[in-house]
Amino acid sequence: MLYSEKVMDHFANPRNVGELEDANAIGEVGNVKCGDIMKMYLKIEGGVITDVRFKTFGCGAAIATSSMATELIKGKTIDEALTLTNQAVVEALDGLPPVKVHCSVLAEQAVKSAIADYYTRQGIDPTPIVGEIGGCDSCSCH
Ligand code: FES
């Protein structure tokens, strides 16, 4: 089987799907190559991500990785969420086929993009904290 049971589970029953009315951090990233788009909504209180939702217009792997990413960052501090790598998301899903690893990069970038928005809203330049966010094009996985 091409996809692990966990990937199929998160694709068929994605966690934390939708929008957050009271989000105070919203990120959106896209992959220009495949046209997939991922939007991430966070509610951050006292430096902790207390709630999270996502909407992904994309492939099955993009949906599964964004679902897993929301599970991994919920209840974590901003600093912990910023250390989330696409490899950690892939490992939590028991792996992805090599041609689909780039989809997990979109999930990592969506989290970073939302956190960048959180800082921008407070008048803080997010780049030194979050780094450059360029969607899948800026990664070296393909
Ligand atoms: Fe576009 Fe997976 S093919 S994110």
- The whole-number pLDDT of residue 118 equals 98
Residue 121, SS3 per DSSP: helix
Residue 113's nearest CA partner among 60, 68, 66, 76 is 66
In this model, does residue 60 exceed pLDDT 70?
yes
- CATH tag for 5-130 (out of 3.40.1440.60, 3.90.1010.10, 3.40.50.300, 3.40.50.620): 3.90.1010.10
Residue 43 C-beta-side C-alpha neighbours within 13 Å: 11
Find the 106 Cα to ligand 1 centroid distance in Å.
Answer: 8
pLDDT tens by residue, 83-141: 999 999 999 999 999 999 999 999 999 999 999 999 999 999 999 999 988 645 545 44
pLDDT band at 142 (very low <50, low <70, confident <90, very high): very low
pLDDT tens by residue, 18-54: 999 999 999 999 988 888 999 999 999 999 999 999 9
Please return the burial class of 36, using the count of CB atoms within 10 Å of its CB with bins 0-12, 13-18 and 19+.
buried
Find the 36 Cα to ligand 1 centroid distance in Å.
Answer: 6
Atom of ligand 1 lying closest to residue 100 CA: 2
Residue 34's nearest CA partner among 140, 136, 139 is 136
Per domain, the residue ranges of the chain are: 5-130
